[in-house]
Amino acid sequence: MDLSYILNHLGEERETYRGAVSPPIFQSSIFAFPTVAAFRAAFRDELRHTTYTRGNNPTVEILRRKIAALEGAEDCLMFGSGAAAIAAGVLASVGAGDHVVCVHKPYSWTRTLLRDLLARFGVTHTFVDGTEVANFEHALTPATRLIVLESPNSMTFEMQDLAAVARLARARGIRTLCDNSYASPLNQSPLALGIDLVAHSATKYLNGHSDVVAGALCGSAAIIREVFRGPYMTCGAILSPHDAWLMIRGLRTLPLRMQRIAASTERVLAFLQGHPRVARVYYPQAAANPQFALAQAQLRGASGLLTLELRADDIAAVERFCDALTRFLMTVSWGGYESLAFPVAAVHPAEAPLRPPGALPLTLVRLSIGLEEPEVLIADLDRAFAAM
């Protein structure tokens, strides 16, 4: 299946909605049946039929089919956030007494899920530096049921050798889940490397327009059915039909956005590298990345999220840099059409639990490169450096 077929046509049964090129928003909570027999058949398989929108909805199903195809998955479930997708994948995979191994700098709420929420229900965990495969092996216990990966992660872009970790896990009957938000399905296919579940914050590149919070979870039909019967239906963190429709629209330009973002990021990176105010640039494809070889082998292309370590005398200089930016909007999140800046220093010390461990320097500023002309972004950064 080619990419444009997936994005422009897959799942869209235009003949059933009078040829409409853009699919309808099935803004209905319930779907009625003409006979008891038809009702019974739908009830028996709520994942495949449309009975109630907490289970399935035709607009959401179009999106599920497209994202499953992009990930090379048999099936996909959409959620109201990336955090919900990750939580559902984890909740479906473990129970009291089980143990989870997770990379030590995952997305902050993935860490909180394991450390604070699941710990209350008797699920134990070990956080490991995922840059060495042996660290996973050493952390396993007879109770380990799940390994949670995020490659690259979204602040310092550490990677895991996904094929090697998947081999290790499969040999022991341990399930693996990988957060693939950074790479997007275009640049990395964890399922093809042997990973069992792929999660996305679809809020980021998949939607790409900073107007929807959404999550996706992809895997085999059997595991997705297990997730559906478990946390999907019981916790009910679904994506609304309207948000699914916005996502279908956002997704149509994913390849174009990613191409533009990768090209602009290369230009911005060239400006930043060697700049006297930049102590270090974190980026998978940066030549100085200690995992550069793995990035070349495992990623098909580049993303637009990178982190600068500023050469600043104090935090006030970091603040002056960020406050001077006019084209980069200062906020959380990433992956939209617009460029963003996220200073680690904005996280209040009282919120330290949200900050990644290993005491990240407060001089880090993460940039998400958007669709602007790269010269405009470089000029903005240049102005901000001058204001330091």
Ligand X SMILES: *Cc1c(COP(=O)(O)O)cnc(C)c1O
Binding region for ligand X (CB under 6 A): 81-83, 107, 150, 154, 179, 181, 201, 203-204, 213, 215
Q: Smallest distance, Å, CB 154 to ligand X? A: 4
Our CB check for ligand X shows the closer of 11 and 356 to be: 356
Q: Check residue 30 and report its DSSP letter.
A: B
Q: Smallest distance, Å, CB 173 to ligand X? A: 26
Our CB check for ligand X shows the closer of 109 and 385 to be: 109
Q: Check residue 300 and report its DSSP letter.
A: S
Q: Smallest distance, Å, CB 153 to ligand X? A: 7
Q: Smallest distance, Å, CB 108 to ligand X? A: 9
Q: Smallest distance, Å, CB 240 to ligand X? A: 14
Question: Using CA atoms, how far apart are residues 99 and 125, in angstroms rounded to an integer?
Answer: 5
**What number of other Cβ atoms are within 10 A of residue 273's Cβ?**
14
Question: Using CA atoms, how far apart are residues 20 and 122, in angstroms rounded to an integer?
Answer: 51
Coil, helix or strand for 278? strand
Q: What are phi and psi of 342, to 5 degrees?
A: -125, 105
Q: Check residue 115 and report its DSSP letter.
A: I
Q: Smallest distance, Å, CB 150 to ligand X? A: 6
Please enumerate, as own/partner, the contacts of 163-168 that have beta carbons within 8 Å and a separation of 24 or more: 163/193, 163/194, 164/133, 165/130, 165/133, 165/136, 165/195, 166/193, 166/194, 166/195, 166/196, 167/194, 168/133, 168/136, 168/137
Q: Smallest distance, Å, CB 82 to ligand X? A: 2
Alpha-carbon separation of residue 179 from 46, 89, 146, 188 (angstroms): 27, 11, 13, 11
Our CB check for ligand X shows the closer of 67 and 384 to be: 67
Our CB check for ligand X shows the closer of 175 and 366 to be: 366
Using Cβ positions, the residue closest to ligand X within the complex turns out to be: 82
Our CB check for ligand X shows the closer of 148 and 312 to be: 148
Q: What are phi and psi of 331, to 5 degrees?
A: -170, -175
Q: Is 5 left (phi over 0), alpha (psi -120 to 50) or beta?
A: alpha
Our CB check for ligand X shows the closer of 59 and 110 to be: 110
Q: Hey, what are 368's tokens?
A: 């998400």
| Contact yes or no for 89/199 (Cβ under 8 A) | yes
Q: Smallest distance, Å, CB 84 to ligand X? A: 7
Our CB check for ligand X shows the closer of 214 and 310 to be: 214
Our CB check for ligand X shows the closer of 150 and 380 to be: 150
